[in-house]
């Protein structure tokens, strides 16, 4: 998706440990017009799939998920990554590892907000090893809902998440795929 | 703001410890049309203020902030509440207590994404003691930017945040104000 790829190439910063920083336009400061263009692009890909809900995960999936939900004209649900006094005790709960943060956390989705009538599109900012996506897939399966597909803004093509999800037969659409980092620069596929 | 007030009265759940759960429409499942109506309403209030940026805070301020940024046609910035490998080391950093979560956390905003030319509207879902808002105000002041005002979805009018912010002279717009909880029901102001 050309607008996103251009922003990665011009504004993305490569940090040690295969981290790509896109905090001027995607996951700290957020360019809403870019998200709108991404949602338009994704809608072309998934528009026949009768999606009833967008499922994302806090925190950096929420802004993207919000604009996608607007475009698809459905509610957004974002999984919680921290238990607090207002976490629904009657929730689906799955353990997820984070590649960037080197942590293991449980994620939560209330049983009230997805059910077996839903057709769900997962939306997130990054795909590396796929741990967050597999956690969300697990929750959708527990709810008996239908998994329509997965829309990722930026796939790290040199890690295993995308390969595994495609091998498992999921409809995965990545709007930019990084082939590798070379001398501190991004090489897109 | 009548649509939001109606949703609170029909779908909000009062939990022990003065917690109001609005997770079916505002901060877990998110009704985008409601957010659009809230953004329209807020725009009427702040439209003369030449806002250049919306500032919110992860996680539950992000969806609201996204739709507000779209309406005001400016970027969203959301403060980070966790340090990770991709947190900008060159960030404004402030300590904030959470009323709901009973924790103390530092919040971070990169120096790259706000500066002294910005006129900033703070947007968040809840206002209780005002700790998160005061943290964001501190960051805006450190950046030398102008504070236009504060838009809150739901103010707990029986706590001190709103009173203190008004006494300090800030332009605060709360779209629903809870006067009290009585017998497990919400009483709006």
The mean of the pLDDT values for chain B is 95
| pLDDT tens per residue, range B28-76 | 999 999 999 999 999 999 999 999 999 999 999 999 999 999 999 999 9
Residue B97 confidence (pLDDT) above 90: no
Name the residue among B15, B67, B113 with its Cβ closest to that of A66.
B67
Model's pTM, two decimal places? 0.96
With CB atoms and an 8 Å threshold, state whether A82 touches B100.
no
Q: Is A144 helix (H, G, I), strand (E, B) or coil?
A: coil
Which of A 62-121 lie inside 8 A of B, CB atoms? Answer: 62-63, 65-67, 69-70, 75-78, 80-82, 84-86, 88, 100-102, 109-110, 112-113
Backbone angles phi, psi at A30, to 5 degrees: -130, 125
Looking at the complex, report in whole angstroms how far the Cα of residue B176 sits from the nearest Cα belonging to chain A: 19
With CB atoms and an 8 Å threshold, state whether A29 touches B85.
no
Identify the helix (H) or strand (E) that includes residue A134: helix A131-143
pLDDT given at position A4: 98
- Of B5-19, B36-50, B96-110, B118-132, which range is least confident? B96-110
With CB atoms and an 8 Å threshold, state whether A86 touches B15.
yes
pLDDT given at position B99: 65
CATH number of B2-188: 3.40.50.2020
Per residue of chain A (189 residues), what is the pLDDT tens digit? 999 999 999 999 999 888 999 999 999 999 999 999 999 999 999 999 999 999 999 999 999 999 999 999 999 999 999 887 778 889 999 999 876 667 888 999 999 999 999 999 999 999 999 999 999 999 999 999 999 999 999 999 999 999 999 999 999 999 999 999 999 999 999
Looking at the complex, report in whole angstroms how far the Cα of residue A19 sits from the nearest Cα belonging to chain B: 7
Looking at the complex, report in whole angstroms how far the Cα of residue A75 sits from the nearest Cα belonging to chain B: 5
Res. B86 pLDDT band, cuts 50 70 90 = confident
Q: What is the DSSP string of A66-97?
A: HHHHHHHTS-EEEEBSS--TTS-SSEEEEEEE
Beta strands per DSSP E along chain A: 13-15, 19-21, 29-30, 53-57, 76-79, 91-98, 103-110, 119-127, 146-156, 172-182, 185-188
Do the Cβ atoms of A149 and A170 come closer than 8 Å? yes
- How far is residue B162's CA from residue A128's CA, in Å, rounded to a whole number? 42
Surface-to-core class of residue B25, CB atoms within 10 Å of its CB (0-12 exposed, 13-18 middle, 19+ buried): buried
> Residue ranges per domain, chain A?
2-188
Q: What is the mean pLDDT of residues B137-166?
A: 98
- B37 close to A (CB below 8 A): no
pLDDT given at position A99: 65
pLDDT given at position B148: 98
With CB atoms and an 8 Å threshold, state whether A23 touches B112.
yes
Q: Take residue B169 and report the two structure tokens written for it.
A: 């002279």
pLDDT given at position A88: 84
**Which residue of B lies nearest to A22 if distances are taken between CA atoms?**
B86
**Per-residue three-class SS string for chain B:** CHHHHHHHHHHCEEECCCEEECCCCCCCEECHHHHHHHHHHHHHHHHHHCCCEEEEECCCCHHHHHHHHHHHCCCEEEEECCCCCCCCCCEEEEEEEECCCCEEEEEEEECCCCCCCCEEEEEEEEECCCHHHHHHHHHHHHHCCEEEEEEEEEEECCCCHHHHHHHCCCCEEEEEEEEEEECCEEEEC
Surface-to-core class of residue A183, CB atoms within 10 Å of its CB (0-12 exposed, 13-18 middle, 19+ buried): exposed
- B32 close to A (CB below 8 A): yes
In a mutational test of the B interface, the residue from A65, A86, A102 whose CB has the highest number of chain B CBs within 10 Å is A86
For residue B57, what are the β-bridge partners? B79
What are the chain A neighbours of B86 within 8 Å (beta carbons)?
15, 19, 21, 23, 100
């Amino acid at each position: 998706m050309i607008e996103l790829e251009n922003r990665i190439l011009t504004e993305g910063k490569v940090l040690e440990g295969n981290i790509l920083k896109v905090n001027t336009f995607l996951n700290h400061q957020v360019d809403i017009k870019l998200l709108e263009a991404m949602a338009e692009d994704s809608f072309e890909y998934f528009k026949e799939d009768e999606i009833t809900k967008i499922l994302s995960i806090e925190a950096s999936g929420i802004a993207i998920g919000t604009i996608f939900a607007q475009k698809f004209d459905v509610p957004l649900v974002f999984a919680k990554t921290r238990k607090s006094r207002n976490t629904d005790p009657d929730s689906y709960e799955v353990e997820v590892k984070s590649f960037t943060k080197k942590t293991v956390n449980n994620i939560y989705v209330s049983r009230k907000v997805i059910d077996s009538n839903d057709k769900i599109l997962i939306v997130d900012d990054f795909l590396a090893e796929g741990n967050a996506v597999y956690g969300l897939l697990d929750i959708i399966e527990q709810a008996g809902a239908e998994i329509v597909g997965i829309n990722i803004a930026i796939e790290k093509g040199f890690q295993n998440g995308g390969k595994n999800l495609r091998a498992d037969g999921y409809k995965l659409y990545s709007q930019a795929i990084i082939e590798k980092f070379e001398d501190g620069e991004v090489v897109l596929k």
